[in-house]
């Protein structure tokens, strides 16, 4: 965390007042914090105000031009992507952006691939600390009425995978769930020959108001594929949905695509480049990619490889109706969709505004797939449909927002059609672009846009926008102390702390005595504090995070020039 950044080419980021280190860079050292007094309240008169501002720089990998520019901080090791942003000046929804920048298998375009929370002003809020993982579906969900961060993680890089679902509370205390013996579930085969039995799939993990978790899983299953020219003793990846009680971890229900769908109706060609229907390379006929609870009795399920969405009876698993995206005669329960409402290879199906006569449904329409590119632009679609389904009354297109330029997103993608102010948030999946549109059907009304990678090198399965408040318990603030010419500067951050109002600085004297120096307003993820020249002889300092008028946590001790007072006692 305290390593030199001299090897990374950097430049100023115009939206922040930055300080370029052009003089003496006094290296800082982090020492184990001695037994300081516990956080306490000191009269404000003891603390003069110091000037402060946000600090961040933009780093480049000069020998790796495929890596997108990234943010660089002094007191933090995290390097989230630097958004290339644009706005049209109209209001955007409140909240932070939560997403999971990831690398393509063939080209590594992200400096770090970790779940992150960022502001639309291009600054970090929180970065999930875990090494060498793949992560997806990072978002805020309510559990027992309280907001939590949830996500999926795995060391597997495959599209279908085994992994675990994690939950972080407001203090970032972590709980994990695996589909293994702890849930009393047995699957017939492992997704990979050497995989450990952790089968929760990356695509969907929805917490219901009933305190259950809906998640997707894959099970390699024997299947007769002779009806489509495959082997009679073939194998498929069976798309499954499990619902578990979060408190007891008991399985409440499960659903199998193979038990309810005809394999020969899949839109995925046979054979594929990655599947020959063998046990080693099973056929992914259904490819489930979203599940949503609809009231108490139903589930909405999206199948990428059937170009369809299904309403499922939650009790017996029966299919109530099918919304077919192909536009073909006889397809689905609602008849052919209008041309602008048709979708292919879609993701993130969601139902809204359900009444006893109608409902609205949204999807991210990829319209493209691997080896089936340039079939049309990818983007959000929203429809209104009557119930019960009536093919003579086709669904009405409410939203179809093709991007201004051709965007060919061959996988992944998300669409939130109902942000807090009515705006719409679109994540373009394996095309590294996030956009917030206004509430209408105007493709020109791009309220905010953020690019976070080069095409073909970076992706994010989904993106979310939510409020979040966090105060870490597992780690303290991080402090760096440097001399620049004749001036001293402190750089302080606290990963995930959203409610810190200002920082107090203390001089650390011999023993454990802390002498007040001053305070400064907290600005940005990392605050740089200008320490007046009269304190130039101060060798070691600590910072205290102030929240609601109280000191809530002390940082590490940071010493200028490597001088450790503890060693001179």
Dihedral (Cα; 529, 531, 537, 540), 10-degree rounding = -30
Reported as a single tens digit per residue, the pLDDT across 44-55 is: 567 899 999 999
Reported as a single tens digit per residue, the pLDDT across 5-21 is: 233 333 333 333 333 33
Q: How many CB atoms lie within 10 A of CB 31?
A: 16
Reported as a single tens digit per residue, the pLDDT across 340-380 is: 999 999 999 999 999 999 999 999 999 988 766 667 899 99
Averaged over 518-529, what is the pLDDT?
98
Question: May I ask the CATH class of domain 9-59+472-568?
Answer: mainly beta
The mean pLDDT of the chain is: 87
Write out 181-220 in H/E/C secondary structure. Answer: HHHCCCCCCCCCCCCCCCCEEEEEEEECCCCEEEEEEEEE
At 183, the pLDDT band (50, 70, 90 cuts) reads: low
**CA-CA distances (angstroms) from residue 246 to 138, 165, 243?**
18, 11, 9
Q: What is the pLDDT of residue 510?
A: 66
Q: Which residues contact 74 (CB under 8 A, 6 or more apart)?
A: 5, 55, 480, 482, 491, 526, 528
Q: What is the pLDDT of residue 157?
A: 56
The answer to whether 282 and 190 have CB atoms below 8 angstroms apart is: no
Give the pair of three-digit tokens for residue 241: 């949905």
Reported as a single tens digit per residue, the pLDDT across 112-162 is: 999 999 999 999 999 998 766 789 999 999 999 999 999 999 876 555 567
Averaged over 496-520, what is the pLDDT?
91
Alpha carbon distance 540, 31 (integer Å): 10
Torsional sign, CA 252, 285, 335, 291 = positive
**CA-CA distances (angstroms) from residue 393 to 308, 326, 554?**
18, 17, 64
Bridge partners, 448 (sequence order)? 87, 436
Cβ neighbourhood burial of 57 (10 Å; 0-12, 13-18, 19+):
buried
Closest CA to 100 of 82, 113, 111: 113
Is residue 266 predicted with pLDDT exceeding 50?
Answer: yes
Q: What is the pLDDT of residue 370?
A: 75
Reported as a single tens digit per residue, the pLDDT across 471-499 is: 999 999 999 999 888 889 999 999 999 99
Q: Which residues contact 316 (CB under 8 A, 6 or more apart)?
A: none
Q: What is the pLDDT of residue 119?
A: 99
57-60 and 52-54 beta bridge pairing:
unpaired
The answer to whether 494 and 1 have CB atoms below 8 angstroms apart is: no
Q: Provide the b/e sequence for 360-378 (b: ≥16 CB within 10 Å).
A: bbbbbbbbbbeeeeeeebb
Alpha carbon distance 370, 428 (integer Å): 15
Q: Which of 160-164, 330-334, 367-371, 498-502 has the lowest mean pLDDT?
A: 160-164
Residues in the chain, how many?
569
Alpha carbon distance 558, 31 (integer Å): 7
At 107, the pLDDT band (50, 70, 90 cuts) reads: confident
């Amino acid at each position: 965390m305290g390593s030199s950044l001299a090897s990374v080419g950097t430049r100023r980021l115009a939206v922040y007042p930055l300080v370029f280190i052009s003089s003496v860079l006094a290296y800082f050292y982090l020492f184990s914090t001695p037994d300081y007094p516990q956080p306490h309240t000191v009269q404000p008169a003891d603390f003069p105000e110091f000037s402060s501002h946000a600090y961040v720089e933009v780093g480049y990998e000069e020998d790796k031009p495929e890596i997108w520019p990234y943010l660089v901080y002094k007191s933090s090791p995290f390097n989230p992507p630097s958004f290339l942003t644009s706005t049209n000046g109209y209001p955007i929804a409140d909240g932070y952006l939560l997403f999971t920048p990831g690398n393509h298998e063939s080209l590594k375009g992200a400096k770090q691939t970790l779940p992150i929370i960022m502001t639309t002003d291009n600054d970090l809020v929180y970065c999930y600390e875990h090494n060498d993982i793949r992560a997806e579906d990072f978002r805020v969900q309510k559990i027992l009425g309280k907001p939590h961060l949830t996500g999926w993680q795995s060391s597997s890089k495959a599209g279908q995978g085994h992994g675990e679902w994690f939950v972080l509370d407001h203090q970032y205390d972590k709980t994990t769930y695996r589909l293994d013996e702890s849930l009393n579930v047995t699957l017939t085969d492992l997704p990979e020959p050497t995989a450990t039995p952790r089968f929760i799939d990356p695509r969907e993990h929805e917490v219901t108001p009933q305190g259950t978790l809906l998640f997707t899983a894959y099970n390699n299953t024997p299947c007769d594929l002779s009806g489509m020219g495959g082997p009679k003793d073939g194998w498929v990846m069976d798309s499954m949905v499990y619902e578990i009680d979060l408190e007891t971890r008991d399985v409440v229900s499960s659903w199998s695509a193979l038990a309810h769908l005809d394999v020969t109706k899949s839109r995925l060609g046979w054979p594929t480049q990655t599947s020959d229907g063998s046990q080693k390379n099973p056929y992914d006929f259904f490819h489930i990619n979203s599940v949503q609870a609809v009231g108490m009795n139903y589930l909405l399920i999206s199948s990428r490889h059937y170009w369809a969405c299904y309403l499922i009876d939650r009790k017996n698993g029966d299919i109530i109706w099918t919304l077919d995206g192909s536009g073909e005669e006889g397809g689905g329960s609602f008849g052919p969709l209008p041309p602008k409402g048709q979708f292919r290879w879609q993701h993130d199906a969601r139902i809204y505004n359900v009444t006893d006569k109608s409902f609205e449904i949204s999807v991210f329409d990829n319209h493209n797939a691997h080896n089936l590119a340039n079939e049309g632009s990818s983007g959000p679609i929203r429809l209104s449909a009557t119930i019960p389904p009536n093919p003579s009354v086709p669904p009405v297109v409410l939203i179809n927002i093709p991007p201004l330029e051709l965007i060919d997103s061959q996988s992944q993608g998300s669409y939130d059609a109902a942000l807090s102010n009515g705006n719409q948030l679109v994540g373009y999946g394996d095309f590294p672009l996030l956009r917030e549109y206004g509430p209408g059907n105007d493709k020109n009304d791009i309220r905010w846009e953020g690019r976070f990678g080069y095409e073909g090198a970076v992706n994010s399965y989904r993106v979310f926008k939510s409020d979040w408040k966090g105060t870490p318990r597992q780690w303290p603030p991080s402090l760096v102390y440097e001399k620049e010419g004749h001036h001293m500067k402190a750089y302080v951050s606290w990963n995930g702390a959203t409610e810190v109002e200002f920082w107090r600085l203390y001089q650390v004297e011999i023993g454990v005595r802390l002498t007040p120096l001053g305070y400064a307003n907290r600005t940005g993820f990392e605050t740089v504090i200008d320490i007046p020249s009269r304190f130039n002889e101060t060798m070691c300092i600590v910072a205290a995070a102030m929240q609601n008028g109280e000191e809530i946590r002390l940082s590490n001790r940071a010493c200028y020039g490597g001088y450790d007072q503890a060693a001179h006692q």
